[in-house]
Structure 1
Amino acid sequence: MVIDNTSASHEVELCEEEMEEVMKKLIEGQHFLVNLGEDIPTGTPPWFDEKKFEAGKQFVKKYYGGIFFCHLVSLIMMLYSPQVLKPLIFTEKSETPKKSYRRYLSTTIHVISWYMGDMWQTDSKARRSLRLVRQYHTDTATRLNSVEIRPSVDNTDITQCGLPLHKGHPILEVLQKDFSSIPNCPFLSQLNGNYKNTDVFPVQQIPYLNQLDMSGTQFAFMGLVLLHPEKFGISRATESELEGFVHIWRCIGWILGIDDRFNFCRLDSLPQARRWTRYFADKLVCPLMKMSVTAEYEHMGRAVADGARCYTGVSYETFYLFIAWVLDLQMPQLEKHASLADKFSFRKLTYFFGVIGNLPFGNYIVNGVIYFTLKLIIDPPRFWPRRFRPPMIKGLKELWVHT
């Protein structure tokens, strides 16, 4: 039996058999829609720990620059699932750099409002944002899973992505060669066909925006921060701060409709959370990245990277070099393929986050750069020349919570 962290000592870790059991139960979530509806639970969950929650909020305030960049990196990495990728293409809200820029920066401001605001206060910006997101999930799930629309979503492919973004130099084959050394997913037989990069029609149709998808999204927002804080300028975070960050995402998942049994952060004592997150990354995320590298995957990843280029200054290839560095993946073919400019940008990123960010007070430098960049996009100073700032996104100022 898996140990319930609410009563277990923080020193107790999960053994291999217990993690396998947790994974099997989590995969069952593919058959269940996330809980929908604009109305979100009132009060706090029965397992809520105020001390952990406040420690997590302090962690975010200290290191939000590295956390934000980790979110962006994870976003590109987590496009591996066709179950997630097809709805993104079908809804036509992120298949171009311009659309992607607006969509994912909007997501960032929503998440920052959760971190910095009071998600338990009825009329707070954070609560309003969470309500909007739940309503969006409800509308999207209802539409995508409808009898009329579902077949079109299932058949979505690269032809609906618009003009190619690789400019005649795709890295699809490069990634496939480098990923070939990643072990296969031991849970592949339990995953429905929708999660596999095959043309075989799934035996059982599973809903879009299901509990497993949402749990994977939790991993995208907190997983790499927990596993490799030193690679995002967060090496000086305390164990209580990291544990609090996991607890925050357990709470966010609960508010957004993830059942406790499928909540990725259910095991939120730090030893268990770290071991479980590493297991999830090694046994599911990396193997599915290996098998799901498609033209659609590269296109949508490039849309994210190219959309963010106006404020990061780095390419899709550079982002992937960084992802490989974070995950300790050997990618010799990508290193050969990358241009000198890509490699130089990669070195700058690793130095900025891996060295400067980890110096005493280095987090303030990282935070300042990220804060000023977002400020220019959301609420730019009047004196700042337009040609020296990213395109402004209107409508986000109302959710903007100053850090």
Structure 2
Amino acid sequence: MRPAAHASTNSHLPTSRKTFLKYCSPVLFFPRSFFFAHLVGLAMVVTKPSLLEPLTNTGRSSNLPSLYRRYLSTLRHVKCWYEGDIWSTGGAAAASIGKVRQMHRAVSDQLSSRRCPVTGATYLSQLDMAVTQFAFIGLVVLYPRQLGLFLTDSDLECVLHFWRCVGYKLGMADSYNLCSGTYQETFRVCHEMQEELIKPGLVNASKEGAAMSRDIIGAVRVLVIFLSYEGMMAYWARHIGLEFNTTLSLYDWWSYCLIWLTFNLLLRYRACRNIFNWLLRVAIRRGTKWGSYLQKQLEAREAGAKGMHLSYAYRYQ
């Protein structure tokens, strides 16, 4: 599979703040939808062995508290990119994306002498970066309506251009950047990646990959209390063409119904979007201010869950 089939050129990337902000403006109207897409996407792609291994070996994703810190840090970085200007030298967004690129390079150097036991490829390759980019933008491209994103094709083109810039700043070759082409081209590439990498990864996930996928959502649950992995994936599995074989608890059904109601109905209305966007900002502030307390909650939850087996499986429809 070729992650991208577009010309390798960066000559049209915007470098002025006014031009660049035009491309991220749709995100500022629907931040909850975008951040939810990022979270679900990450939970889907971590089953890929060459992405799972760096997470488990750096020690920064070894338990629920460390996953919480990692995702909250990712959330704050991405929020900074959306609200700032990654091209402005000396600005907060540019500093943030530079820091993330340095972290990626450090992990790549740490694992440079090792190869993925499944594919034999190096870790954090350009393909891995493309799969990671799918985690952030793939569901937005393929299922905007299911995320409550009532955007025009022009709006979606702007979002793709924003993420093309982000990929470039993080060191992605344009030939691997999912967002280098038109919306229709990016849709085809993302759909191919979903069918060839994402779905097989979920269906054939290792025990460690399945646990990591579930724990990413479990770590965020202290910030978004209605969220459950089972409820969320019951919503998403049918959209991507998989059966999610599990028994939903009452809480999971509540989570599923609230997710469905939010993205299929409530986000159509500006007042509801404003409320949800405010709740997202509150959650980020709460996660930062009360981080130690929330991590203790996660430690207690993790201790209580020891010995429990995963009770779900994905199957092709």
Among 26, 47, 59, the alignment partner of 2:12 is 47
Distance 2:37 2:279 in 1: 15
1:312 is aligned to 2:224: yes
Aligned twin of 1:179: none
Pairing of 1:53-64 with structure 2 (within 5 A):
53-64=20-31
Gaps of 5+ in 2: 297-317
**CA pair 349-123 structure 1, distance change in 2 beyond 3 A:** same
| Pairwise CA distance, 1:92 | 1.6
SS of the equivalent of 1:330 reads strand
Aligned twin of 1:350: 260
Aligned twin of 2:196: 283
Amino acid paired to 2:179: C
What is the TM-score when the length of structure 2 is the normalising length? 0.83
| Pairwise CA distance, 1:327 | 2.2
Moved more, 298-307 or 241-250: 298-307
Aligned twin of 2:311: none
Aligned twin of 1:207: 122
Deviations 1:30-84 (A, max 9, x none): xxxxxxxxxxxxxx94122578744331111111111111111111111120111
Amino acid paired to 2:121: I
Aligned residues: 291
Aligned twin of 1:138: 105
SS of the equivalent of 1:260 reads coil
Amino acid paired to 1:91: T
Gaps of 5+ in 1: 1-19, 27-43, 155-192, 196-204, 381-385, 393-403
Aligned twin of 2:309: none
Aligned twin of 1:274: 187
Q: Does structure 1 conserve the Cα–Cα contact (< 8 Å) formed by 2:65 and 2:295?
A: no
| Pairwise CA distance, 1:379 | 5.0
1:127 is aligned to 2:41: no
Q: Does structure 2 conserve the Cα–Cα contact (< 8 Å) formed by 1:242 and 1:270?
A: yes
Q: Does structure 2 conserve the Cα–Cα contact (< 8 Å) formed by 1:376 and 1:390?
A: no
SS of the equivalent of 2:178 reads coil
Q: CA RMSD in A?
A: 2.6
Deviations 1:99-126 (A, max 9, x none): 1000011011111111111111110001
Moved more, 277-286 or 62-71: 277-286
**CA pair 370-280 structure 1, distance change in 2 beyond 3 A:** same
Aligned twin of 1:341: 251
Aligned twin of 1:175: none
Amino acid paired to 2:269: L
| Pairwise CA distance, 1:356 | 0.6
Ranked by relative contact order (alpha carbons within 8 Å, sequence separation 6 or more), the top structure is 1
Moved more, 341-350 or 357-366: 357-366
Distance 2:158 2:19 in 1: 4
Distance 1:52 1:208 in 2: 35
| Pairwise CA distance, 1:87 | 1.6
Aligned twin of 2:206: 294
**CA pair 229-390 structure 1, distance change in 2 beyond 3 A:** farther
